[in-house]
Structure 1
Amino acid sequence: MAQLLDWRFLLLFIAINAVSSKRIKDMIYMPVDGVTACFRRHNGSHQFGCSSPRAGSVGVIQLVDSDSDIKWLQENATAGPYAAVLPFSMFTRDVLIRLRNTNNVNGILLTRNTTIERPSHYSPADTCPNRYSGYKQCDNEKPWNPVGSSLLLEDWPFPIFYLLNDTQLEDIKKCYWTHNAHDLEGQSKRSLCALELKAFMFAAVDSEACIRRSNPRLTFNPSQFCDPLGDRNIHWAVAPITDDLESVILVTAKLDSSSLFNDLSPGAGGAVTGFVTLLATAYYLNTLNATINKTNVVFSLLNGEDFDYIGSSRFVYDLKGGNFNSLGGKTLLFDQISSVIELSQLGRGPLYLHASNYEDNQILTQLQAALSATILKDSVPPASVQSFLKANSNLSATVISNYKEEFIYRYYQGILDDGESIGYKRNDSSTLASHLAKVAINLGNILYQNITSSPPRSTDEIIVEELIAEILTCYLDSAKCDLFRAASAPGVKLPSNTLPLYVGVNRSPVPAVSLTWQLFALLTGEKLPQLNSTVCHDKRLAWMAGINFTGICISSSVNYSMAVSPAFIIEGYDMKSGVYSTWTESVWQYLSVRMFLKPSAAVERLSMIVGCVVASISFVVVWFINSRADILFGTSVLSSVGTSIARDTPRTTYQ
């Protein structure tokens, strides 16, 4: 009995160990968490970005800290292909092209030591943003973004990942120094630490090709290979649009940003300073309770502007076609727009008014005096006004910015375009907020005078500055902020990180846009405390947490319109015409990085040979056993005995 119990305990022990043991792959690979990947985008003629083979790219880890490391990869490396681990100081166009030209690099892992001072500039955008899609061409001798490297406009033949986890970086370095760093000439003779980078992109060639391949009419089993870039624009009018409306002053700001890496597009200087000022201006003007005459003011946040002006070009397309009815269901026409004022990159320092056709525009003169700004005649920077001037070159258009002939911010469309890059600090944003508040208040006062023909009443301007400081916290520090909580439904959980401002694809709404719409509605909507949540929802109004987080009903006229390029709704549109944006984003399945110990070439060859020998012997053994089965297992004797028994068994018949 005791022996039986011992066997049972032994079997139980074996079963528990079998269940709890690690999988072989988990013992071989170490996943690298906290990474974000470069991905592939297309326009009407090219593909840009990064991709790996379907099975992933494998490369021996090589730390590249200096020019000598690159030369070693070019001339002396023997165990390739390699996965280059780059510090941020080495992440330049020149270095990446040199690594690409070695034909010995299978991937790049970008790292950044946050304790080291950031580079003086990093902009992967073009020196002339939206170079081929604007109304006014950029001067190559005096570009708007002189530090731009155009990394976003290159097609890289290997995956590129950005590592955010410092602990995992130390693990990679430890593995490198243990296995790879010594005896570089003899690397090929031993096992080496390597990375497997998976970032396979399903789309290729250009937007036209990937959309055609996704067309269900051309295949019985259609697959989605790419999606058009686009999301939603946001609009709000100071007063309801009426049939007797004569003109509209349009105030705009871009809502999006971009970068080389997925989910990392903070856009602090490139977008946030402008649209936060617009939100504050709308809030301030709303508190003045303007009663309009024949001129209204419409505020518009335009999305996808970094990709050939997706949002503004679609807005203009709908206005000219009589299809824009996002303001209370009333149709607004392009010809009703008398002037466009855009809030671009803003911050400390002097202000500039890039003005076109302003001779008869008193608003510009008032802005110049109120902001102590400099007027730059016929200056058209890469901004949304390009789309409006392209549709009507005689339209009065003004861009308010902190730059004159080139961008002040040196991290345009980069992952370093964050709060630190514009001098924002969580507990000390008063300086930046006060500069933005000055623009918002003065612009609000001037708009009020022009639509009511009377001076604005005095208000507490400190409230606007405090509001801007709070909004900046939401976009530059953490989305888990009081204003976003107040603008969301009670109990909604918000992420603690900053929200990426990348426009995304049209079938996946961007959270930053939804939260911005909710915040816009909270700041400008009518509060209805007498309604509970049930009645509020029944009336199709917005139920939000409110400032005290207990819940309040908001009636707001803030609304969306589509920010998807007309190129994707016009039947038979020529993708290579250059009239409208044709940007698409590739579909991918998963993005991952794993580290493992890669055996030497000799061991791999030996494993292959042993495997082939074992397989060959197995085939021979199976063939031999199968061909001699009657002898080895006595199948013929058993068969004859069975036949004899069947023959001698008497048959029974029933009548």
Structure 2
Amino acid sequence: MALVSKNIVTLLYMIVILINSSDSERLHKQIYSSIEGGAACFRRLNGTKQAGCSSSNKGTVGVVQMVHNLEDAQWIAYNGTAGPYMAVVSTAIFHDVIEVLMSHSGHVAGILLFANATIRANGFTQDSQCPNGYASGPGSQCLSGNGGIVWNEAGTDLLRRDIPFPIFFLPESKIDEIEKIEDCYKRYNLERKQNGQPLCSLQMNSFMYAAVNSVVCLRRSATTALLTPTKVCDPLGDNNVYYSLFPRGKETNTTKKPVILTTARIDTASLFDGLSPGAASSVVGMVTLITAAATLAQTISAANAHLYRRNVLWALFNGETFDYIGSQRVAYDISRKAWPPNAPLSETDIPLHLEIGQLGGSLLKNKDTDTWPLYAFVPENSEIRELFLQQMSSNIEAYNMTLQPIFSTNLPPSSLHSFRRILQNATTSGMIREVLLTDHNEKFTNLFYNSALDDYEKIGFVYRNISIGNDGTFVSTDELVANGSMKTSDIQVKIANLASALARTLYEQVSEAQYTGNVSASAHLVDEMLYCFLKSQACRLLLAADYAQSGSREDNLPEIPAPLYVGVAAWSTTAPVFAGHLLALLTGTHLQQNRTQCDALSDPDYSYYWLRGWNNSGVCIQTTMNFSQAVSPAFMIPDYDFTSGEYSTWTESVWQAMWARVFVSASGNGAQFAAILGAFTTVLAAFFTFWLHKHSAVVFDNAPTALVNNDAASGILRTVNC
């Protein structure tokens, strides 16, 4: 009998376990609904502080409150009774309400920010009014927060502030998730008297391991590395890209040519992980540089290098958003005669530094006209700069554009600041002359600077999808305009014309003669590059410039734009690789070598890359393009003082998971009832157990003597194996 009872109990126990295991996941899904497609705000740190967002260790929970205007935000701050609240906010009003929510963070659990296609933001930038203000060179007059001159007038500085709650962002494509939350809100949360009611709630998890500042998190990482493999932060950094018109590897001090250093930035940033489109902030400038380099390479053959006294060195800097990481490293290495690694330059080798700054903010404004007003910032006038400006103005006016010189040491944010600080003697003395090209004068024309909304729509880009020849031939701009495929007001045409004017000006600087040829940049090439960087990595241009592997890799390139955030130094990102490979593909020599032969080639003047090529079968590229580290000198110098402000000290926190979910939280009355019911059930069970023990002889037939023993001395309720 005892054995049978024991088997029955075991069987019942197993049935309960099986039911629980099969239903637990279903029950979880009934309680929680995941918010898909969101991007979380994360934490970065520098030598003196932490910036960005973090949730609590197990996620932060708050009651949903739809914020449609400033009054809704003020209600959360001053009148909400069931908080803390999760504010669901459109990007159109984010700048209007963020300061109210930040200043009353005790009532705010977090923010779910969403982009709405029907209500667009007029401006959206989380950088400061004076971007990289603490890394500015001598002569800068930007006075953020003091009523002075500012470049980024709409800046909130959230990129560099410690935000006391998590923020998640949902793009326009995920508006159905917002509708799901709003339905939940309307069902449970519309009443302002919310105490004691079941309420629609959100939970956000974006816990960051790093805290305080870069010094603390790096010390913690070094300490824990001895015990566990877990790091809490990494230095920001990646790679710079450089390419020279003529090879420089075999140059000596007597044969070395002065170089015109022509630069632009690769990176941009936003508050949110994986969302950094950078259309006007960086992409237009980068595409202009690559297109101009390809055009100049068609104009002057590297084989004729001996005919020219000057060279052109093109460089794309990475990490510029965070105190000019890439350009600081290059200027620092030049001061030590260590860049480029294969043929280092000194300050005396650079008669002119031309920076292609922020372009694109005014393209949408001028989309219906042929004009594109541009500006050239010049710190001090000099003969070589005056000649360059004359040549550039003449070439650019041929394309119905204007270039207005601005002579001032108050330069907009650009890599010139790194050179003016680190190589100050060379720049202030006029040894290195400087020119900065932009599309703005006193204030940015880009109202979405360094944000998740700085996308292709903000520059008015419409992809034309024109076929590329099997040998990489692009249709000329003149032919595209003549056959109606493009108009002279299209941004592709304007960027191609600017690249043509720049290439011709550099030709005249190198050759010391006026350009009389007819080579010009192709708006078709610009169209493809903009599509690749702003809409989809799975494009023909990047496929051709990708590393050639065995088998097809088309499915491995995602149909989303490559994030342009610099990332951490421990991992390479795709943006500089794509930019470098495009330079190699478009300017290099295509050799008739197989993969094995290509890998075996070695020459101090060149690098060799095996890329997919235009027919996807692989091609050996001989190029002067190469990569160099874009990691701040602060992480190289022994015992560097991270509070000095001399070099960038930015790091990024490590995190484990980021997710958000919506659910209905129980009311206070329900919790009280559950507590009372639990207490009552416990008392009832104790009474019933006592009663069974006292009357066991009546309840159970043939009960063992031990069970009915009323030996009070033991004081123990005895148990028996049945």
TM-score (norm 2): 0.80
1:497 is matched with 560
**Cα pair 1:429 1:469 within 8 Å, conserved:** no
Q: Aligned pair in 2 of structure 1 residues 590, 100: CA closer, same or farther (>3 Å)? A: farther
Inter-partner Cα distance in structure 1 for 2:31 and 2:220: 38
Q: Aligned pair in 2 of structure 1 residues 610, 561: CA closer, same or farther (>3 Å)? A: farther
C-alpha deviation, 1:437, in angstroms: 1.7
C-alpha deviation, 1:457, in angstroms: 5.5
1:574 is matched with 641
**Cα pair 1:93 1:149 within 8 Å, conserved:** no
2:449 maps to amino acid: Y
Inter-partner Cα distance in structure 2 for 1:43 and 1:630: 76
Q: Aligned pair in 2 of structure 1 residues 17, 453: CA closer, same or farther (>3 Å)? A: same
2:395 maps to amino acid: A
2:444 is matched with 407
Q: Aligned pair in 2 of structure 1 residues 532, 577: CA closer, same or farther (>3 Å)? A: same
Identity %: 35
2:192 maps to amino acid: L
2:282 is matched with 271
Inter-partner Cα distance in structure 2 for 1:300 and 1:104: 48
Picking from 436, 440, 449, the partner of 2:508 is 449
Picking from 404, 407, 422, the partner of 1:377 is 407
Inter-partner Cα distance in structure 1 for 2:685 and 2:624: 75
**Cα pair 2:282 2:359 within 8 Å, conserved:** no
CA distances 1:234-280 after superposition (whole Å, capped 9, x unpaired)? 00011111112141110000110011111111111110111100001
Picking from 588, 612, 625, the partner of 1:525 is 588
Inter-partner Cα distance in structure 2 for 1:237 and 1:623: 92
Deviates more, 1:192-201 or 1:532-541: 532-541
CA distances 1:452-502 after superposition (whole Å, capped 9, x unpaired)? 3344462342x5222112111111222221111111145222111111111
2:579 is matched with 516
2:399 is matched with none
Matched position secondary structure for 1:381: coil
C-alpha deviation, 1:288, in angstroms: 1.6
Inter-partner Cα distance in structure 1 for 2:691 and 2:329: 73
C-alpha deviation, 1:97, in angstroms: 3.2
2:277 maps to amino acid: P
**Cα pair 1:288 1:457 within 8 Å, conserved:** no
2:612 maps to amino acid: A
State yes or no: 1:296 paired with 2:311: yes
Inter-partner Cα distance in structure 2 for 1:322 and 1:562: 15
Q: Aligned pair in 2 of structure 1 residues 352, 614: CA closer, same or farther (>3 Å)? A: same
Any residues of structure 2 matched to 1:626-645 within 5 Å, and which?
Answer: 631-632=706-707
2:378 is matched with 355
**Number of equivalenced pairs:** 617
Inter-partner Cα distance in structure 1 for 2:299 and 2:65: 62
1:53 is matched with 56
**Cα pair 1:216 1:222 within 8 Å, conserved:** no
Matched position secondary structure for 2:616: coil
Deviates more, 1:566-575 or 1:162-171: 162-171
Inter-partner Cα distance in structure 2 for 1:535 and 1:335: 39
Q: Aligned pair in 2 of structure 1 residues 620, 281: CA closer, same or farther (>3 Å)? A: farther
Inter-partner Cα distance in structure 2 for 1:370 and 1:630: 112
Inter-partner Cα distance in structure 1 for 2:600 and 2:200: 61
Any residues of structure 2 matched to 1:236-275 within 5 Å, and which?
Answer: 236-241=243-248, 242-243=251-252, 244-275=255-286
2:605 is matched with none
C-alpha deviation, 1:217, in angstroms: 8.3
1:170 is matched with 179
Inter-partner Cα distance in structure 2 for 1:619 and 1:429: 86
Inter-partner Cα distance in structure 2 for 1:225 and 1:598: 33
Q: Aligned pair in 2 of structure 1 residues 108, 630: CA closer, same or farther (>3 Å)? A: farther
**Cα pair 1:125 1:149 within 8 Å, conserved:** yes
Matched position secondary structure for 1:517: helix
Picking from 151, 156, 179, the partner of 2:163 is 156
C-alpha deviation, 1:168, in angstroms: 1.4
C-alpha deviation, 1:623, in angstroms: 13
Inter-partner Cα distance in structure 2 for 1:287 and 1:633: 105
State yes or no: 1:235 paired with 2:242: yes
Q: Aligned pair in 2 of structure 1 residues 608, 48: CA closer, same or farther (>3 Å)? A: farther
1:559 is matched with 626
Inter-partner Cα distance in structure 1 for 2:284 and 2:135: 24
Q: Aligned pair in 2 of structure 1 residues 14, 350: CA closer, same or farther (>3 Å)? A: same
1:334 is matched with 347
Picking from 610, 613, 620, the partner of 1:546 is 613
Inter-partner Cα distance in structure 2 for 1:403 and 1:417: 16
1:385 maps to amino acid: L
Matched position secondary structure for 1:189: coil
**Cα pair 1:245 1:296 within 8 Å, conserved:** no
Q: Aligned pair in 2 of structure 1 residues 324, 78: CA closer, same or farther (>3 Å)? A: same
State yes or no: 1:343 paired with 2:356: yes
1:546 maps to amino acid: G
1:417 is matched with 454
State yes or no: 1:319 paired with 2:344: no
1:364 is matched with 389
Inter-partner Cα distance in structure 1 for 2:676 and 2:636: 57
1:172 maps to amino acid: I
2:264 maps to amino acid: A
C-alpha deviation, 1:14, in angstroms: 10
**Cα pair 2:234 2:654 within 8 Å, conserved:** yes
Inter-partner Cα distance in structure 1 for 2:686 and 2:298: 85
Inter-partner Cα distance in structure 2 for 1:320 and 1:514: 26
Inter-partner Cα distance in structure 1 for 2:665 and 2:509: 71
**Cα pair 1:138 1:144 within 8 Å, conserved:** no
Picking from 50, 55, 64, the partner of 2:67 is 64
Deviates more, 1:352-361 or 1:566-575: 352-361
1:450 maps to amino acid: Q
TM-score (norm 1): 0.88
Q: Aligned pair in 2 of structure 1 residues 532, 615: CA closer, same or farther (>3 Å)? A: farther
2:695 is matched with none
C-alpha deviation, 1:378, in angstroms: 2.3
C-alpha deviation, 1:617, in angstroms: 9.4
**Cα pair 1:368 1:375 within 8 Å, conserved:** no
**Cα pair 2:42 2:54 within 8 Å, conserved:** yes
**Cα pair 2:537 2:560 within 8 Å, conserved:** yes
Deviates more, 1:463-472 or 1:604-613: 604-613
CA distances 1:181-201 after superposition (whole Å, capped 9, x unpaired)? 1x321x222211111100111
Inter-partner Cα distance in structure 2 for 1:46 and 1:554: 45
C-alpha deviation, 1:11, in angstroms: 14
Q: Aligned pair in 2 of structure 1 residues 67, 404: CA closer, same or farther (>3 Å)? A: closer
**Cα pair 1:146 1:406 within 8 Å, conserved:** yes
**Cα pair 1:480 1:495 within 8 Å, conserved:** yes
Any residues of structure 2 matched to 1:419-438 within 5 Å, and which?
Answer: 419-427=456-464, 431-438=490-497
Q: Aligned pair in 2 of structure 1 residues 440, 193: CA closer, same or farther (>3 Å)? A: same
Q: Aligned pair in 2 of structure 1 residues 615, 494: CA closer, same or farther (>3 Å)? A: farther
**Cα pair 2:39 2:274 within 8 Å, conserved:** yes
**Cα pair 2:105 2:164 within 8 Å, conserved:** no
Matched position secondary structure for 1:496: coil
Inter-partner Cα distance in structure 1 for 2:448 and 2:640: 35
**Cα pair 2:70 2:97 within 8 Å, conserved:** no
1:7 is matched with none
Deviates more, 1:351-360 or 1:153-162: 351-360
C-alpha deviation, 1:624, in angstroms: 14
2:183 maps to amino acid: K
C-alpha deviation, 1:633, in angstroms: 11
Inter-partner Cα distance in structure 1 for 2:674 and 2:632: 54
